[in-house]
Amino acid sequence: MRSVYVLNGPNLSRLGTREPDVYGAETLADLTALCRDTGRELGLSVEVRQTDDEAEMIAWLHEAADGRVPVVLNPAAFTHYSYALRDAIAQRTAPLIEVHISNPAAREEFRHTSVVAAVATGTIAGFGLRSYVLALQAVAEIAQ
């Protein structure tokens, strides 16, 4: 089975309690189960991680690049300002799909800019947790 990392940035551990009108009532545990189940259906071995630490996220991206592991990444707030994260993504050696639960373009002005989108394979946003399912489907199709 092909390994895939699903990496989640800051505050995503608060899913279910953080702004449920924006992010829904599902928890990080629900997201993890959804991603693992979807992965199994697609023949992927999915490892889900979450961190509020930019350095840890960058280390995980380096690990993925070194191992040629595809990534589904929700950079969360790092999306809008982390050039260090952008530079780590630029070193990728396998597909990387940027995902967002909400649609950043339909939210506050500061969320409209993604510094990581230009170095990602693609971006899926605005479909709730289904954004992750769509991203995993894309990885299954393009990662050989």
Q: What residues are labeled active site?
A: 23, 100
In terms of C-beta density within 10 A (0-12 exposed, 13-18 middle, 19 or more buried), how is residue 80 classed? middle
AA identity, residue 59 = A
The half-sphere exposure of 96 on its side-chain side, counting CA atoms within 13 A, is 26
Place of tokens 């840890």: 56
